[in-house]
A and B are shown apart, each in its own frame.
Chain A
Amino acid sequence: MTAPFWLSATEIAQAFATRTLSPVELLTSLLARIEALDPKLNAFIRLDAEGAMQAAIQAETEIAAGRSRGPLHGVPVGIKDIIDVVGLPTTCHSKILVDNIAQADAAVVARLRQAGAVIIGKLSTHEFAIGGPSFDLPFPPARNPWNREHHPGGSSSGSGAGVAAGLFPLALGTDTGGSVRNPASACGIVGLKPTYGLVSRRGVFPLSFTLDHVGPLSRTAADSALLLDAIAGYDPADPGSAPTQARGFGRLLDRGVRDLRIGFVRHFHERDLPAHPEVAAALEDVARVLQAEGAQVQAVTLPALTEFAGINRVVLCSEAWSIHAPWLRERPGDYGDLARRRLLPGAFMTAGDYVGAQRRRAQVIAAVEDRLQDFDVLMCASSMDPATPIEDAAETARSYPRQARTPFNVTGHPALAMMAGLARNGLPVSVQFAGRYFDDATVLRVAAAYERATGWHKKKPPIG
Chain B
Amino acid sequence: MDSIIVALARAAGLDKALAAFPEDVLAAAEQALNNAGAVNVPADPAAEPWPPMRPGIGLMPAALAGTATRGTGR
Q: Contact: B28 with A348, CB < 8 Å?
A: yes
Main DSSP-derived SS at the A contact region:
helix
Q: Which residues of A contact B13 (CB under 8 A)?
A: 325, 329
Q: Which residues of B contact A104 (CB under 8 A)?
A: 71, 73
Q: How many Å lie between the Cα of A365 and that of B47 in the bound state?
A: 13
- Residue-by-residue, is A314-351 near B (CB-CB < 8 Å gives 1, otherwise 0)? 10010000000100111011000100110011111110
Q: Contact: B35 with A356, CB < 8 Å?
A: no
Q: Which residues of B contact A188 (CB under 8 A)?
A: none
Q: Contact: B14 with A329, CB < 8 Å?
A: yes
* Interface residue? A360 (CB, 8 A): yes
Q: How many Å lie between the Cα of A225 and that of B74 in the bound state?
A: 31
Give the Cβ gap from A98 to chain B, nearest Cβ, in Å.
Answer: 13
* Interface residue? A244 (CB, 8 A): no
A317 touching B41 in the complex, CB below 8 Å, given contacts A202-B71, A340-B21: no
Q: Contact: B24 with A362, CB < 8 Å?
A: no
Q: Contact: B35 with A353, CB < 8 Å?
A: yes
* Interface residue? A421 (CB, 8 A): no
Q: Which residue of A lies closest to B31 (CB)?
A: A345
Q: Contact: B47 with A203, CB < 8 Å?
A: no
* Interface residue? B3 (CB, 8 A): no
Give the Cβ gap from A124 to chain B, nearest Cβ, in Å.
Answer: 18
Q: Contact: B17 with A344, CB < 8 Å?
A: yes
* Interface residue? B59 (CB, 8 A): no
Question: Which of the residues A314, A337, A365 comes within 8 Å of B50, measured between beta carbons?
Answer: A365
Q: Which residues of A contact B67 (CB under 8 A)?
A: 236-237
Question: Which of the residues A101, A337, A360 comes within 8 Å of B41, measured between beta carbons?
Answer: A360
Using a CB-CB cutoff of 8 Å, which residues 11-68 of chain B contact chain A? 12-17, 20-21, 24-25, 27-29, 31-33, 35-36, 38-42, 47-52, 56-57, 64, 67-68
Q: Contact: A356 with B17, CB < 8 Å?
A: no
Contact-size category for A: 35 or more
- Residue-by-residue, is A192-234 near B (CB-CB < 8 Å gives 1, otherwise 0)? 0000000001111110001000000000000000000000000
Give the Cβ gap from A204 to chain B, nearest Cβ, in Å.
Answer: 7
A84 touching B42 in the complex, CB below 8 Å, given contacts A341-B27, A349-B36, A359-B47: no
* Interface residue? A391 (CB, 8 A): no
Q: Contact: A359 with B42, CB < 8 Å?
A: yes
Give the Cβ gap from A342 to chain B, nearest Cβ, in Å.
Answer: 9
Q: Contact: A345 with B35, CB < 8 Å?
A: yes
* Interface residue? A291 (CB, 8 A): no
Question: Which of the residues B20, B35, B68, B72 comes within 8 Å of A84, measured between beta carbons?
Answer: B72
Q: Contact: A203 with B70, CB < 8 Å?
A: yes
Q: How many Å lie between the Cα of A325 and that of B17 in the bound state?
A: 11
Q: Which residues of B contact A237 (CB under 8 A)?
A: 67-70
- Known pairs A333-B21, A348-B9, A358-B50; list 10 more (Cβ under 8 Å): A237-B69, A317-B32, A330-B16, A345-B32, A347-B28, A348-B5, A348-B33, A350-B36, A360-B41, A362-B50
Taking beta carbons and an 8 Å cutoff, which residues of A are in contact with B? 84, 86, 90, 97, 100-104, 201-206, 210, 236-239, 306-307, 309-311, 313-314, 317, 325, 328-330, 332-333, 337, 340-341, 344-350, 353, 355-363, 365
- List the 6 closest A-B pairs by CB distance, nearest first: A310-B38, A358-B49, A344-B28, A348-B32, A102-B73, A356-B41
Taking beta carbons and an 8 Å cutoff, which residues of B are in contact with A? 5, 8-9, 12-17, 20-21, 24-25, 27-29, 31-33, 35-36, 38-42, 47-52, 56-57, 64, 67-74
